[in-house]
Structure 1
């Protein structure tokens, strides 16, 4: 495909190098270097994170309770779980099975650990402390994630800038601890790019204990490795990842079986939830039978793996791990029992690392912001139908959001066009028959 057909749209020539534009020809070489520019890019994340904190202002002042948190758009799972799950017991309570969370072990353990750091105070002050501590943790994870993207794609500093400045952090960063898992995945990709498969496997294994979708990212690594001639390294990374996750899960099972089994049981019994297209029949007054949601999710896993294979085989140039994973993950997310607001945090960082444009990025975030607002208004309609969003309108928003995710898939499909062309292999001497490639 000709270069001019690429969907990449860098910023204008006179833009600063920090936001994607080239420096002048007379600039000193050190001014162009990644060590000089990367700290500035990382600092940029303070802008969306500050806006995310300001968005929590009303609840920070008055508490996260009642329907007011939905009308004000400051609802978050973090204070809700702290208030309901007894996270003030800390890690000892979590290990003893006294803390009941539906999150997988990594996230439930981290949430309990942070809860144990909250100083003794009144109900509202303790909840404020919990949110503040998690804000610091999430900001630190985002800084590491931006750094990983910059080191993986040093010639495309605009991609790291996209992640640092992304408005999705205003919408979803403080809703859950999911950015911890995303950061581990990006760190594993950086380790893989630097040919450190064991470290990549350990990081990926820790991420597997945080979210099931990481398993699809691991499968995408093996699928992408076939065209890149890196199958042995990829297999080693995935083997280490699953061994790490399984070993830690077995140890935790001896402490409390519910830590490992409770998230699985919750998922299997889950009904269509917010954001899922399976919720549309229920919004229309005809709910689907039980077990439809988990069975549809299993079909989604098969479809996501097929999408990864399709991307790896049909890409114009060999697709990277991030590109294959970014193409398969939206398929998995859209077919899940629910597609929460924070699901964008799983998909968008990989899509940015894959190479999507600012135009696609901002359009996707705009749709996510509309859906998040519609969701809070729809939940609030249960107590005030005249003020909230009716089910029919929320169904329209959910359908429109699914279409926007499909457009993101279309954009990711074209990202391998900008990948470096494969190096040409030297021709064998005359009279020498070339060797057959080894079977993969």
Structure 2
């Protein structure tokens, strides 16, 4: 019996062995040590991926489901007691969905942007998703039951969303499918997936990249168009597709992806704006707003200085322009692929952003999977992200109880550490040669898999 796949049954012709994928417990020292809790790394004769990529995907989806379950457990205090301020900050269990639900027209099953208490800062697609959840929730109104149902329904919806993203990553990494664990099993999923609807945008972005790699530029554009209605980060992936595609002679597919992105956004926006023009309020609020939590630009405010809003906006816009310049230069290198160019541009945008919320870390995870990241590197970044996660809630609670909360100068230091972690990990992803070349397929079935000793 080989390590890469099943052998034939007795009395039958042996089937060709599956490719000898590098199993993390063999190749990554961190994973090998972590498996000590379940008996250690896989043995030399273990069957790994016996049912092909589908088996790997199923195992990773199970890990992702476990991570989401841990996220629900982590939010247990709020799930039982309700999402109230400042308790939800002390307990680090804040979530947009139940909070916005009870404080906006969603409580009456109306669109969140219309009526008394309108959630004007809610982006179009997240607002639409929260409205759909409100429609199917058995409990309405502003009570605890309504909050519990909204949170539970979103947690259930996250399972197929995460599964779709993981399966797409496994498909994109046929030579090293276990790399998709950087999304499925990341500590960031436990902390961030249930804070907001960002996981929807991340999944749409990953599926868009999958469609691009499968020569479906129109589908890619439609998916990216929907994803950017969650956050603008997918625009960076679109820019990378255009730059790399044009540089490599794929001008028509790149333009098709661009047009498809516009159509994908309009398919959602036009009906929504017809009913509720206020759905565009989040884009209007972005312009001219002071620096928000999580961004380096918030540091002067945290230290007691006042920065005009126009300066904050100018720096953020300049960051996007600088990111495009970086993307143009990076796309000239033949060895850099779309996801690597995107990571380098994301680095620039993150460092110059006017706001970088705690859940923004979810958008980094697909690039860690695609960038041959080691788990030691992933966990160092996740440590900084977890520290920023806790520090943000403690800083928000500082106004309620300065004796227990985190003051501005300490929070500023955490933001510097987080920015350094983002810069380091995205630079590593953007400049390190990919472990598996895009489009590479597993070893041909005629090549038998050799036994690999565990490291």
Same fold (TM over 0.5): yes
Aligned to 1:110: 129
Aligned to 2:145: 125
Aligned-residue Cα RMSD (Å) equals 2.8
Structure 1 residues 76 and 248, CA, compared in 2 at 3 Å: closer, same or farther? closer
Aligned to 1:354: 371
**CA shift digits 1:98-133 (9 cap, x unpaired):** 753422221111111111222136700110000000
**Candidates 66, 87, 91, aligned match of 1:72:** 91
TM-score of the two chains, using structure 1 as the length reference: 0.86
The alpha carbon displacement at 1:94 in A equals 5.4
The alpha carbon displacement at 1:191 in A equals 1.3
Aligned to 1:290: 309
Structure 1 residues 394 and 51, CA, compared in 2 at 3 Å: closer, same or farther? same
SS in 2 for 1:416: coil
Aligned to 2:321: 302
Aligned to 1:162: 182
The alpha carbon displacement at 1:96 in A equals 6.4
The alpha carbon displacement at 1:374 in A equals 1.1
Counterparts of 1:251 and 1:74, CA distance in 2: 34
Matches within 5 A, 1:189-208: 189-208=209-228
**CA shift digits 1:158-188 (9 cap, x unpaired):** 2112211100011111110011011011111
Moved more, 22-31 or 391-400: 22-31
**CA shift digits 1:270-308 (9 cap, x unpaired):** 211111111111111112112222111100111111222
**CA shift digits 1:203-257 (9 cap, x unpaired):** 1222122222222221111112244432321221121111332354334332222
Moved more, 113-122 or 194-203: 113-122
Moved more, 302-311 or 339-348: 302-311
Structure 1 residues 63 and 96, CA, compared in 2 at 3 Å: closer, same or farther? closer
- Bigger relative contact order (CA 8 A; separation at least 6): 2
| Structure 2 residue 419 is matched with structure 1 residue 405 | no
The alpha carbon displacement at 1:75 in A equals 1.2
- Maintained 8 Å contact 1:216/1:325: yes
Aligned to 1:178: 198
Structure 1 residues 93 and 75, CA, compared in 2 at 3 Å: closer, same or farther? closer
Identify unmatched segments of 5+ residues in structure 2. 1-21, 441-455
Aligned to 2:355: 338
- Maintained 8 Å contact 1:181/1:210: yes
**CA shift digits 1:296-332 (9 cap, x unpaired):** 1100111111222232224xx5322222212212321
SS in 2 for 1:418: coil
**CA shift digits 1:79-109 (9 cap, x unpaired):** 111111121343x545967753422221111
Aligned to 1:47: 66
**Poorly superposed stretches of 4+, deviation over 4 Å:** 8-11, 13-16, 21-30, 94-99
SS in 2 for 1:44: helix
Structure 1 residues 244 and 38, CA, compared in 2 at 3 Å: closer, same or farther? closer
Counterparts of 2:88 and 2:48, CA distance in 1: 51
Counterparts of 1:332 and 1:412, CA distance in 2: 15
| Structure 2 residue 57 is matched with structure 1 residue 38 | yes
**Candidates 306, 320, 335, aligned match of 1:318:** 335
Counterparts of 2:228 and 2:151, CA distance in 1: 25
The alpha carbon displacement at 1:415 in A equals 2.8
- Maintained 8 Å contact 1:178/1:345: yes
Identify unmatched segments of 5+ residues in structure 1. 1-7, 424-440
Aligned to 2:26: 12
The alpha carbon displacement at 1:10 in A equals 5.3
- Maintained 8 Å contact 2:343/2:427: no
Aligned length in residues: 409
- Maintained 8 Å contact 2:98/2:151: yes
| Structure 2 residue 204 is matched with structure 1 residue 187 | no
| Structure 2 residue 400 is matched with structure 1 residue 380 | no
The alpha carbon displacement at 1:201 in A equals 1.7
Aligned to 2:448: none
- Maintained 8 Å contact 2:100/2:119: no
